[in-house]
Structure 1
């Protein structure tokens, strides 16, 4: 499968890498939205599961290689977990990076919107000498709240915050409170909602504004501000932040990019939010 790229500006390129794929319960992914409604917008299989990619986005700028999210990695989940989460493919980051003339050592920054397993498993490699950082030269950025909960999960969140995903990389982690400019024109903004420490990404380079709403809008079908996940720890916060960021972005016809969407890498809607004006789709021709 060819790597999809998007040229943000003369000196900034986005490339989607293959981080693996999961299949999660559609009802959980759409919360209280009735099945007849959400199935009109997103395909579902016979097990009531929907396909959710876990594809990191490589942001290449002059002298910078920034990774947005990390995928589900390789050999990081038990057979039971693979079955429960509907994992049908693991990551191919080494292959993808090689195609780009890079290795894991060339990644200097990893932006983690949150540290749930389907975003964070790819931070660690299983080696003959034990778990090791997958990106040993990178700073790993996440919010301070997220990092604290990652290390001290509660009775609910301990099912997704795994010790083995943070202990090998703790010396690489850096945190922020409200917002942080990671590179010129690339900002992480704490929102809460999906998790207490959840963040979104705003890319403003050249004449484009691009938003990665992460898991408060994991797919294009979640654009409606009221369509939030049963997995959200604080659903009213998700709704509030979707109103704050998505509504004005739609009015400006900004772009939105996705880590999880089965079909769209990124897109922009018209001002009404009802029609897709332009999109970059995932290449499935060689699958």
Structure 2
């Protein structure tokens, strides 16, 4: 498992699963000759996307950013359509670190699409689900939480009842921003979904940011490169314009949930990579 230190904050990437989605959908209106130079695709035009939660350890608290693909949540048809070759191994990853799911204090949800939220619950008997992190406060924007429970004709394909019903008493919605520890803050941005949020790290003079699906991979750094999956693409662009400039000007770490090649990158204002944490790819 790859790790990164941002000031006093320790980040560890857990194994949450992998899927393969259409590259054209993941890069929206950007032509394939441009995006494929930055992020390769297979013969089906699909790109590899991890779904790996980040364990964030700050001020004695264990925080988890998103929850992975879960186990046994997808039908055979969904596994095939989404190109899922691996499901979550969160519990075994935590065990390697000397932790259990009971030790997670907060789950910070950038949004609640199935590839981020399916790891929040598990089926304990036919049709009955329980929270995977029963002691954790589940933090999500109020807009996102409300749409999760009452999805519209588009979002009902990704906001699933089995991913929220068992955690409803653990959820603590927030409005515009929320301080989790003195080193970790969440901000509502909208864009990818109406309730999408990002996470900012600030510790001992070092800084970082987690863009969620505003920047799912390193190849999405350009503010204009947004997903066809985004419900509100102009909101994505406006949010990225603001936060990407701050991140590059301040030489912050940028961390990724979906990237199959990089866990984190630090760029400068000239768009040069200063440091990287590469994903350890199996042989």
Q: Which TM-score band (shorter chain)?
A: over 0.9
Give the aligned partner of residue 41 of structure 1. 38
Q: What SS does structure 1 have at the residue aligned with 2:243?
A: helix
> In structure 1, what is the Cα distance between the partners aligned to 2:223 and 2:237?
5
Q: How many residues align?
A: 282
Q: What SS does structure 2 have at the residue aligned with 1:141?
A: strand
Do residues 19 (structure 1) and 16 (structure 2) align?
Answer: yes
- Using the TM superposition, give the Cα deviation of residue 78 of structure 1 relative to its aligned residue in structure 2, in angstroms: 0.7
- Using the TM superposition, give the Cα deviation of residue 62 of structure 1 relative to its aligned residue in structure 2, in angstroms: 3.5
Of 256, 260, 263, 1:262 maps to 260
- Using the TM superposition, give the Cα deviation of residue 111 of structure 1 relative to its aligned residue in structure 2, in angstroms: 0.1
Runs of 5+ consecutive residues of structure 2 not aligned to the other structure: none
Give the aligned partner of residue 145 of structure 2. 147
Do residues 95 (structure 1) and 92 (structure 2) align?
Answer: yes
Give the aligned partner of residue 179 of structure 2. 181
Give the aligned partner of residue 124 of structure 1. 121
- Using the TM superposition, give the Cα deviation of residue 126 of structure 1 relative to its aligned residue in structure 2, in angstroms: 1.7
Deviations 1:225-277 (A, max 9, x none): 1100000000000000111111121112111000000111001112211x211
Give the aligned partner of residue 78 of structure 2. 81
> In structure 1, what is the Cα distance between the partners aligned to 2:241 and 2:140?
23
Q: What SS does structure 1 have at the residue aligned with 2:269?
A: coil
Of 96, 103, 107, 1:106 maps to 103
Q: What SS does structure 2 have at the residue aligned with 1:66?
A: strand
- Using the TM superposition, give the Cα deviation of residue 80 of structure 1 relative to its aligned residue in structure 2, in angstroms: 0.7
- Using the TM superposition, give the Cα deviation of residue 9 of structure 1 relative to its aligned residue in structure 2, in angstroms: 2.4
Q: What SS does structure 2 have at the residue aligned with 1:40?
A: helix
TM-score normalised by length of structure 2:
0.98
Give the aligned partner of residue 237 of structure 1. 235
- Using the TM superposition, give the Cα deviation of residue 131 of structure 1 relative to its aligned residue in structure 2, in angstroms: 1.1
> In structure 1, what is the Cα distance between the partners aligned to 2:167 and 2:246?
37
> In structure 1, what is the Cα distance between the partners aligned to 2:31 and 2:5?
38
> In structure 2, what is the Cα distance between the partners aligned to 1:16 and 1:228?
24
Runs of 4+ residues over 6 Å off in structure 1: none
- Using the TM superposition, give the Cα deviation of residue 124 of structure 1 relative to its aligned residue in structure 2, in angstroms: 0.5
Q: What SS does structure 2 have at the residue aligned with 1:224?
A: coil
> In structure 2, what is the Cα distance between the partners aligned to 1:7 and 1:200?
19
> In structure 2, what is the Cα distance between the partners aligned to 1:126 and 1:58?
23
Q: CA contact under 8 A between 2:52 and 2:68: conserved in structure 1?
A: yes
Runs of 5+ consecutive residues of structure 1 not aligned to the other structure: none
Of 28, 31, 38, 1:31 maps to 28
Q: What SS does structure 1 have at the residue aligned with 2:38?
A: coil
> In structure 1, what is the Cα distance between the partners aligned to 2:90 and 2:247?
31
Q: CA contact under 8 A between 2:58 and 2:181: conserved in structure 1?
A: no
